[in-house]
């Protein structure tokens, strides 16, 4: 029976040439086969040190620190605006293993802005978000959502200071209505106040107080009511 010999499969020649190049140290612009280009420092054929990468397909550009071929350290990432042909910043800050990690600023296409901590490419830690409608949230984040303690301030002056979970008001918190001179303090669950006490503060100086004051309700221990609600809330989440 005849023996059929097949040609040995091998990588394209440019892969072999690239391996043999042993790029190390500062180099002028190196062009990849797909049109990407990199200018900067190398170590053992990997981008390492300071350098600038331009991706041909998207027109995006990164300039900053590299470590063994990945963005790692401090750097800035921008994209090309097809209308103006100018670069717009997307992120400036710290990177680790090719992802946003540490402190940095992210510029959203709709004009929103986040300044704070990142982990594995997501908002995590302490940060401040500036929303398009003019409201801001400053506090703790986890997995790209407000989680923990934080302060939400609305354009009309109202503000909420308290607990958050998965981007919603959750746990003990205080909601201030400066225009009415009122304060709602209680326990929130998924953005809804489940047990709360509405009181007045500075009503005489409020710009738009209610026509009638709140009726006086005598409780023997209002703080105890909230404490009991807090205990029930804690038990339900343990």
pTM: 0.79
Give the pLDDT confidence score for residue 154 in this predicted structure: 97
205 pLDDT above the threshold of 50: yes
206 pLDDT above the threshold of 90: no
E strands, the chain, where?
A: 25-31, 37-43, 46-54, 61-67, 70-80, 87-96, 99-107, 113-119, 122-130, 136-142, 145-153, 159-165, 168-177, 182-189, 192-200
Give the pLDDT confidence score for residue 14 in this predicted structure: 47
Region 51-68: mean pLDDT is 96
185 pLDDT above the threshold of 60: yes
Region 147-159: mean pLDDT is 97
- CATH code of the domain made up of 108-208: 2.20.110.10
- Where does the pLDDT of residue 55 fall: very low under 50, low under 70, confident under 90, or very high at 90 and above? very high
Of all residues in the chain, the percent with pLDDT exceeding 70 is: 77
- How far from 50 is each of 1, 55, 69, CA to CA, in Å? 60, 17, 11
**Which CATH class for the 26-105 domain?**
mainly beta
Q: What is the greatest pairwise CA distance in the chain?
A: 105
Kindly report the average pLDDT of the chain as a whole number: 86
Region 7-35: mean pLDDT is 66
Give the pLDDT confidence score for residue 199 in this predicted structure: 87
- The answer to whether 61 and 52 have CB atoms below 8 angstroms apart is yes
- Where does the pLDDT of residue 72 fall: very low under 50, low under 70, confident under 90, or very high at 90 and above? very high
Give the pLDDT confidence score for residue 68 in this predicted structure: 96
Q: Where are the domains of the chain?
A: 26-105, 108-208
User: Do 108-208 and 26-105 have the same topology in CATH?
Assistant: yes
């Amino acid at each position: 029976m005849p023996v059929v010999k097949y040609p040995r499969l091998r990588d394209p020649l440019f892969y072999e040439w690239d391996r043999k190049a042993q790029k190390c140290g500062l180099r002028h612009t190196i062009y990849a086969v797909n049109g990407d280009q990199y200018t900067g420092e190398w170590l053992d054929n990997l981008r390492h040190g300071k350098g600038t990468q331009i991706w041909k397909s998207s027109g995006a550009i990164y300039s900053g620190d590299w470590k063994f071929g990945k963005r790692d350290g401090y750097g800035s990432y921008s994209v090309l605006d097809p209308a103006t042909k100018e670069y717009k910043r997307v992120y400036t800050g710290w990177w680790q293993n090719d992802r946003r990690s540490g402190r940095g600023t992210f510029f959203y296409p709709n004009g929103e802005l986040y300044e704070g901590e990142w982990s594995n490419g997501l908002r995590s830690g302490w940060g401040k978000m500036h929303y398009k409608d003019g409201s801001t949230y400053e506090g703790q984040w986890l997995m790209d959502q407000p989680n923990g303690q934080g302060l939400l301030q609305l354009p009309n002056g109202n503000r909420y200071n308290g607990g958050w979970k998965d981007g919603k008001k959750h746990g003990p918190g205080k909601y201030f209505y400066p225009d009415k001179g009122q304060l709602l303090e209680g326990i929130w669950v998924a953005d809804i106040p489940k047990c709360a006490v509405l009181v007045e503060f500075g009503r005489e100086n409020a710009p738009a107080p209610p026509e009638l004051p709140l009726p006086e309700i005598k409780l023997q221990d209002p703080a105890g009511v909230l404490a009991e609600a807090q205990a029930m809330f804690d038990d339900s989440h343990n």
